[in-house]
Amino acid sequence: MYTVRIANPDEAVRLVKAIDEQFANSPAETKTDTEKAFAASFVKQMGNIQLLIMSVGSVVFFHPAPGDRQPMAIAVRERTRELAC
């Protein structure tokens, strides 16, 4: 991986094409991207981050619910006489 710094960001598209054309059909072809595009492709490799976070959050939020229902039900059953008075 090589990094090329340029003075004028408007020249990035032209420079990317020039680098890729120079190494076209060679044993070491290149795929040149801007840093922003590289970062976006790196994040995409991890998959759908938002879905992953929402899934884990949902499991953490709803997992204790079945465990909390049983003690509450027992407490209500034990106090039915108090509640009926």
pLDDT digits (tens, 9 = 90+) for 4-47: 888 888 888 898 899 889 889 888 888 888 888 888 888 788 77
Domain annotation covers residue 24: yes
Range of the domain at 54: 49-84
- Is the domain of 61 the same as that of 74? yes
Residue closest to 15 by CA, chosen among 1, 4, 25: 4
Residue closest to 35 by CA, chosen among 4, 11, 74, 78: 4
Number of structural domains (the chain) is 2
Domain annotation covers residue 35: yes
Domain annotation covers residue 34: yes
pLDDT digits (tens, 9 = 90+) for 41-73: 887 887 788 888 899 988 888 777 777 778 888
Domain annotation covers residue 1: no
The length of the chain is: 85
Rounded CA separation 20/2 (Å): 13
